[in-house]
Amino acid sequence: MPSPVRLLLVNGPNLNLLGIREPDIYGRESLADVEELVRETALERGAEVRSIQSNHEGVLIDAIHAARIDCAGIVINPGGLTHTSVVLRDALSGVALPVAEVHISDVSTREPFRHHSFIRDVAVVHVVGEGVAGYARATRDLLDVIEGRTDGAERAIP
Ligand code: CA2
């Protein structure tokens, strides 16, 4: 395991608009607030975070591949790619790092096309519908998995 433990935080397409548009769905906090929250949460456990947001699938995939070298796990909100992207799923599966999937909104109560996730079964931690605070829980739960406190199974969505 890299020392200190480093996490990759990935935010997918359009999440750069956090806090700017649709506050009724996604809240008022910005992407910078999310990145700071994850950084502070990880730091409480002595871990570091590298953050990336991109609107381009290939950029996200390159960042995930690079994480294989020096990260112990990935916290990801794939945005709309959650529901469409086999290649993002393959990248996450290919690097074989533990993954925490986060969604700010409760996708299960939104449009039917948001109910399916290509990422779900390659992630060991799932946090859905807890707002931006869900990133902090995902970070803690992922660090628990990395540190061997849990295998994450009890957090899996059936
Ligand atoms: O709830 C989530 O976190 C989502 O991953 C957000 C995605 C959506 O496609 C997923 O179904 C659920 C959308 C990200 C776009 O974020 C925006 C933020 C502010 C304003 C507009 C879009």
Ligand 1 site-directed mutation target among 26, 81, 88, 120, most atoms within 8 Å of CB = 26
Residue ranges per domain, the chain?
Answer: 6-155
* Backbone Cα Rg of the chain: 14
What distance, in Å, lies between the first and last C-alpha atoms of the chain? Answer: 29
How far does the centroid of ligand 1 lie from the alpha carbon of residue 16, in Å? 10
**Single pTM value for the model:** 0.95
Count of alpha carbons within 13 angstroms of residue 2, beta-carbon side: 17
Ranges of H-type helices in the chain: 23-26, 31-43, 57-70, 86-95, 133-146
Beta-carbon neighbour count of residue 94 at 10 Å? 13
- Local confidence pLDDT in tens for the 158 residues of the chain: 557 999 999 999 999 999 998 888 998 999 999 999 999 999 999 999 999 999 999 999 999 999 999 999 999 999 999 999 999 999 999 999 999 999 999 999 999 999 999 999 999 999 999 999 999 999 999 999 999 988 775 444 44
Report the CATH fold assignment for 6-155: Rossmann fold (3.40.50)
